[in-house]
Amino acid sequence: MTICSILLCLLAACTKEHASVQRKLFDGGAGCIERIMVTVNDHSIDSAAVQTANLLFKSNNIDNSHFRYSGYTHDSLQTFYPPYALLDEKVVRVDQYINGLKVFTGDMSYVFLENKFDATGGQLTSGTSLDNIPHLSLDKLRTLFLTSAEEFDNAGNKFKDTCLSAEFGYFNINAGTSYTPEKLVKAWRVVIKNSEPYSQYPQAYYQDDGTLIGYDNGIRTFK
């Protein structure tokens, strides 16, 4: 069975198609922005959990070659149906990768009970024919981010002297909508440099042509 991915649900609430390149751009000068690259092998769980996850996928004949492990929990699950057993439960959260790039809307969870596959949260990507070559410059991304910050938060000047980080990948612009096929585009995620991974606000996603996909300030409200 499947359940809605947390990232997909949140992005469905906060995305807004918006051609920011057609709006008045905020003059951010030549400030700092860097491209970060997180590979499929840069797991964010410890080595022992990586080994456990690898064994779980292998023993259940699940291809994990395109998964980066982003989380792991080991607990017990009390069933409320016969035989009312207390089951060993392991949950592995993953990011999906295509062509060496992260699918920003592709986070999933795999649930294993007694080391046997039980359920998933999220959807497997169907892939893409797009290449993995970016075209948008980092300077342009900085300008776009400051423009979005000014438009939604009146915070362009607040972040004008702040260094930013940008990651290139793919984004399903149909994520969170019902009965629509996956439509991946090349995209960028821009955040404040060195911000905490689970509280990276504000954050913005842009298509590789500069079109704003979504801006999230943690409140998920827009003007």
Query: DSSP letters of 45-75?
Result: S-HHHHHHHHHHHHHTT---TTEEEEEEEEE
Handedness of CA 143, 145, 148, 149 (dihedral sign): negative
Dihedral, CA atoms, 62, 67, 73, 77, nearest 10 degrees? -30
Per-residue confidence band for 81, with pLDDT thresholds at 50, 70 and 90: confident
**Domain count along the chain:** 2
Among 78, 105, 121, residue at a domain's last position: 121
Is residue 82 domain-shared with residue 31, that is, in the same domain? no
Among 101, 121, 141, residue at a domain's last position: 121
Is residue 209 domain-shared with residue 136, that is, in the same domain? yes
| Predicted local distance difference test score (pLDDT) of residue 13 | 40
The amino acid that residue 208 corresponds to is: D
Residue 34 is part of which domain span? Answer: 16-38+129-216
Per-residue confidence band for 45, with pLDDT thresholds at 50, 70 and 90: very high
Whether residue 153 is contained in a domain is answered as: yes
* Weakest-pLDDT range from 21-25, 87-91, 149-153: 21-25
Whether residue 6 is contained in a domain is answered as: no
Per-residue confidence band for 23, with pLDDT thresholds at 50, 70 and 90: low
Whether residue 68 is contained in a domain is answered as: yes
Please give the Cα distance from 91 to 117 (Å, whole number): 10
Is residue 29 domain-shared with residue 135, that is, in the same domain? yes
Is residue 210 domain-shared with residue 134, that is, in the same domain? yes
Asked if residue 37 has pLDDT above 90, the reply is: yes
Asked if residue 115 has pLDDT above 70, the reply is: yes
166-218 pLDDT, tens digit each: 999 999 999 877 778 999 999 999 999 987 665 678 999 999 999 999 999 88
Please give the Cα distance from 144 to 49 (Å, whole number): 39
| Predicted local distance difference test score (pLDDT) of residue 201 | 85
User: Average pLDDT of the chain?
Assistant: 87
Task: With CA atoms as reference, report the closest residue to 168 among 188, 185, 190.
Answer: 188
Among 121, 150, 182, residue at a domain's last position: 121
Is residue 135 domain-shared with residue 210, that is, in the same domain? yes
User: Regarding beta strands 108-113 and 86-98, do their DSSP bridges make them parallel or antiparallel, or are they unpaired?
Assistant: antiparallel
